[in-house]
Chains A and B, each alone.
Chain A
Amino acid sequence: MDMQSATNRANAGTPIVRIEHVGKIFRADEREIVALKDITLDIYQGEFICILGPSGCGKSTLLNAIAGFALPSFGRMIANNREVSSPGPDRAMVFQEYALFPWMTVAENVAFGLVIKRITKDAIRSKVDSLLEKLQLADFRDRFPKELSGGMRQRVAIARALALDSPMLLMDEPFGALDALTRNSLQDEVLRIWMEFKKTIIFVTHSIQESIYLANRVVVMTYRPGMVKKIVEVNIPHPRDISSPWFISLQQELTQMVMEEQMRSQKAETIKALA
């Protein structure tokens, strides 16, 4: 609830993630696609950052770069005071496709990152149980992912990421495949987790409403090359009322920005189709 202290924390100390002049080029059949261009952004401990943009703007590419899956072609990326060179459990990720291991039960999925850490079985069990309890999954601990709904699968994925005790949570359009109601309840869940566990959350989305509802800073990105178009601070305490005047006016402002990029992407697609 207390946005103020989050902002205070944000202003103190070194950033948890430093993105310095980062660029990324993909080569696809003799063509070069500039996915990211000269992105500079500092993210501080305790922030909830939403990266917003139309599809193809490189927002997932940026998140993957922080996660260490695809390293930048230019610039520097520092997370947890170390230069990012490979994926690791200090940057826990929640994927849009859940990416649960279907051959493991809910409890085994959540325990995966803990088993690797070689802590005692009892410690793993109590940690898993408490996470399952917190995410209302206790009754499903021995189920396989295929038996769960999309919303529950994503809860398991969140529990699995939280088990790592990573200072940050990277979320790549985590609720993109869910229906509106489930999506709303999971948004509240993530806010609860953000406050309770004092995580830094970097959340990629193409939903304007979602970004205003969640973030303390919304990073709007441009369509190819992906650059930071604007950073919008949302200094309103949670829970936020999506029907309040400030919400609606901010939504209109952001819609304007995203639409501009959407138009550019459509133009580019048309040119490509005609070529």
Chain B
Amino acid sequence: MHDRPVSRTATLLKQFLHSAIIPVGLLVLWEALCRYQVFSPQALPAPSQVFVKLIAYARPQDPFDAAKSNYISWLFSGELPNDLLATFLRVLVGFLIGAGLALPLGLFMGRFERVYQLFNPIIQVLRPIPPIAYVPLSILWFGLGNPPAYFLISLGAFFPVLMNTISGVRNVDAIYIRAALNLGASRTTMFRRVIVPSAMPHILTGLRVGIGVAFICVIVAEMIAVNNGLGYRILEAREYFWTDKIIAGMITIGLLGLAIDTVMSKINNYLLRWHRGIEIG
């Protein structure tokens, strides 16, 4: 039984190597094709070049000066950290506005048939319009800068959260309602302690989809309305034919998206630790 942990490590290593074959192979192929100049560096720079550019993009531009700033703020004074933060804050604010409006409306619409009937027609008409189609209106209404960006992002988050919340509340298993009534639950208790938790898996799905759409919208919004953020940066790089910077920016966008989704998934698993589907520990 001594060799058990060792063999476990070996298995993990094997799994890791197995899953690395395709990505590493593609990178090597890409690098080789660029070295032999199959693609022009203008169209597709080599991964090594993209990596160099990514470092340059992330690095502080000025040398460290203790008199002007502390070390930490200097370390993050590069262009990429600022863009990353700008994009993140934008998506966060937009998402909070969109989800913050959709959640209470969804809870009311799901709970009260009359509220549902009141709002449902207009929602059915507006819902199929992709948020991107609001770009011209958003600029006409809000000009340039953060307001139109917040508008587009919150719009992107709004409908997924709304629709999922409604269906979560409407699909509460009748057996929970009956049990709660039998135990003497008032209307408020029923809503707060039975309906909302029971709808939570749907609501969290809505929030996760919502932040995904919000993330698409933030990139679009940054391309048209503001002059910082990752979306702005890759469009700016195109004007100078900095293909390496475009790809470096895209990679950063991908990583930020992955990070947001991972955090959402962790929150999801924690809040739904009671749920049948998820096994813990």
Contacts and interface: CB of A to CB of B under 8 A. Distances in A.
B and A form one assembly: yes
Interface of A: 67, 69, 86-89, 91-93, 95, 97, 99-104, 112-113, 115-117, 144-146, 160, 164
B178 A102 contact: no
A88 B184 contact: yes
Contacts of A95: 175, 178-179
Contacts of B274: 102-104, 144-146
Contacts of A97: 175
A74 B193 CA distance: 35
A99 B184 contact: no
B200 interface: yes
B276 A117 contact: no
For the complex, would chain B's binding face be called helix, strand, loop or mixed by DSSP majority? Answer: helix
Given A103-B274, A144-B273, A144-B274, A112 B182 contact: no
A160 B252 CA distance: 52
Range of interface residues on B (Cβ < 8 Å): 20 to 34
A88 B183 CA distance: 6
Given A95-B175, A112-B193, A116-B189, A102 B182 contact: no
A127 B23 CA distance: 59
A183 B224 CA distance: 68
Interface string B229-240: 000000000000
Interface of B: 175-176, 178-186, 189, 193-194, 197-198, 200, 273-276
Given A89-B183, A101-B180, A116-B183, 10 more contacts: A67-B182, A93-B178, A101-B194, A103-B200, A112-B185, A113-B183, A113-B184, A146-B274, A146-B275, A146-B276
A69 B179 CA distance: 10
A112 B180 CA distance: 8
29 contacts: A67-B182, A87-B182, A88-B182, A89-B183, A89-B184, A93-B182, A95-B175, A95-B178, A99-B178, A99-B179, A100-B179, A101-B194, A101-B198, A102-B275, A103-B198, A104-B197, A104-B274, A112-B185, A112-B193, A113-B184, A115-B189, A116-B183, A116-B184, A116-B186, A117-B184, A144-B274, A146-B276, A160-B183, A164-B184
A102 B175 contact: no
Highest count of chain A CB atoms <10 Å: which of B178, B183, B197? B183
A113 to B, nearest CB: 4
A104 B175 CA distance: 15
Given A95-B175, A99-B178, A112 B183 contact: yes
A102 B186 CA distance: 20
A87 B181 contact: yes
Highest count of chain A CB atoms <10 Å: which of B200, B273, B274? B274
